[in-house]
A = this chain, B = another copy of it.
Amino acid sequence: MGSLPQETFNPLDPSTFTKESYAVVDFIADYYREVEQYPVRSRVEPGYLRELLPDSPPCSPQSIETILEDVRNDIFPGLTHWQSPNFYAYFQANASTAGFLGEMLCTGLNTVGFSWISSPAATELESIVMDWMGKMLKLPNDFLFSGGRGGGGVLHGSTCEAVVCTLAAARDTALSKTGGDGITKLVVYASDQTHFTVQKASKLIGIPPSNFRAIPTASATGYALTAESVRSAMEADVANGLVPLYLCATVGTTAAGAVDPLLGLGQVANDYGVWLHVDAAYAGSAGICPEFRHYFDGVELADSISMNPHKWFLTNMDCCCLWLKNPSSLVESLSTNPEILRNKASDAKLVVDYKDWQIALSRRFRALKLWVVMRRYGTANLMKHIRSDVSMAKYFQYLVSTDSRFEVVVPRRFALVCFRLVPVGGGGDDDGWDLNCRLIEAVNSSGRAFMTHAVLGGMYVLRFAVGSTLTETRHVEATWKLIQAKADDIYKDLTLSGLSSVAAQ
């Protein structure tokens, strides 16, 4: 048979590409203009979208205009708007023009840089950008490729991936001494404030869930770990025939922005031969400002450190930086060398093959995104950006302090303020839990702001995380007034119904 293929269909025709991409750019620009007006937290009911969309995909093509109209009419109401200036929930995912441009380049070139040869620039730019970022954070040379001592970094999609991979490296190093049966003896340490991703990752790589230690923290240390508590836990495990494996310390915890003391924890980790990982997912970005760098003192004792530019470094989702002093242990654990990927450069061990530094084979050219962000803004503006958010958080903290019904409940370290309504008369049985639940729900259901909560030492706390790119001081002020007004309403209701916190005692 030698018949030629049928008529072609060209989904990468450059002029259609340009025309339709412009339309989407315009659509997104309009979104940024209008996003302030949308309810921040979506108000839809579960299942809303299945009512609106057809059961099956269309047989014939539809125009981009039709699709964008449906995005506006059907999707927008179901969005919780992370780019709203009034989004103060979780930690932000701050978008930027440069982050978007970098992502466009990555998506447009659409390379898959698993091995060096599969797109050398993807690997090399990633190594360079990891060194750039490491230098901005003043990481010890041991973590940089340019340090020349075998260290280096990689871009993952999330902290969880970074933790899974470093845990696997630590586990396999340990098992190479004990044999495979030893896996049931290995113990992983974190605090009760550590991101739950560490517990999930620990279970994922086969550590028995009973061998995960969430060491309690207390308000006295601002919910940070203490070296003493970790040492005691390790001592007790060793006495019971278990093997301490891995300790995760956090700079900027999710609930309260707490900072674990790296220097003390590093000494304990080194004493017990434990892998120390530093999770700076959120606060890592602040490390570029000299005034925050002291929180990283002691990182020189760690084996690995990760931070997420997709949280607070103007880099659109997803982007997580992981540096290691000894990536060879990671590669040892994760490498595969199938014939189908064999090539001269890899065989000669002249190059980094990032497939061996991560879970998956496939990988996107994420380095372009971080590179464009760093270059388009420059370190001066990036520091300005961090300082502006911290400054707005400070201002919010000040506003809270002007209203005696409220209190700030933990020391603010970065751009997160944890506060609450003080229970009237010293608190009821629930220490103001219900009161603050009502307040946050009133604020969130207004659509005019979105905050999330945490529970610290049994106390229900409201988190005000500043960091959405579009947030300005006027938004912080307006949200504070909204919070005060909702508190007024709640107290009025309580008085009317006679069910005040005092009465409930």
Cα A6 to Cα B380 with chains together (Å) = 14
How would residues 313 to 341 of chain A score, 1 for a CB under 8 Å from any chain B CB and 0 otherwise? 01011100000000000000110101111
- Report if A375-B67 is in contact (Cβ < 8 Å); known contacts: A21-B101, A22-B22, A317-B107: yes
Q: Is A385 positioned at the interface, with any CB of B under 8 Å from its CB?
A: yes
Interface of A is mostly: helix
CB proximity of A230 to chain B, nearest CB, Å: 21
Is A120's CB under 8 angstroms from B60's CB? no
Max chain B Cβ within 10 angstroms of own Cβ: one of A74, A98, A207? A98
Is A124's CB under 8 angstroms from B48's CB? yes
Neighbouring B residues of A387 by C-beta, 8 Å:
6
What number of copies of this chain does the assembly contain?
2
Neighbouring B residues of A109 by C-beta, 8 Å:
28, 31, 79, 82-83
Is A110's CB under 8 angstroms from B317's CB? yes
Neighbouring B residues of A67 by C-beta, 8 Å:
372, 375-376
Cα A74 to Cα B186 with chains together (Å) = 46
Cα A320 to Cα B50 with chains together (Å) = 22
Q: Is A221 positioned at the interface, with any CB of B under 8 Å from its CB?
A: no
Neighbouring B residues of A209 by C-beta, 8 Å:
180
Neighbouring B residues of A452 by C-beta, 8 Å:
340-341
Is A5's CB under 8 angstroms from B392's CB? yes
CB contacts under 8 Å to B, within A362-395, are 362, 364, 368, 372, 374-381, 384-385, 387-388, 391-392, 394-395
Q: Is A18 positioned at the interface, with any CB of B under 8 Å from its CB?
A: yes
Q: Is A405 positioned at the interface, with any CB of B under 8 Å from its CB?
A: no
Cα A55 to Cα B48 with chains together (Å) = 51
Q: Is A270 positioned at the interface, with any CB of B under 8 Å from its CB?
A: no
A121 touches which of B13, B79, B110 (Cβ 8 Å) = B79
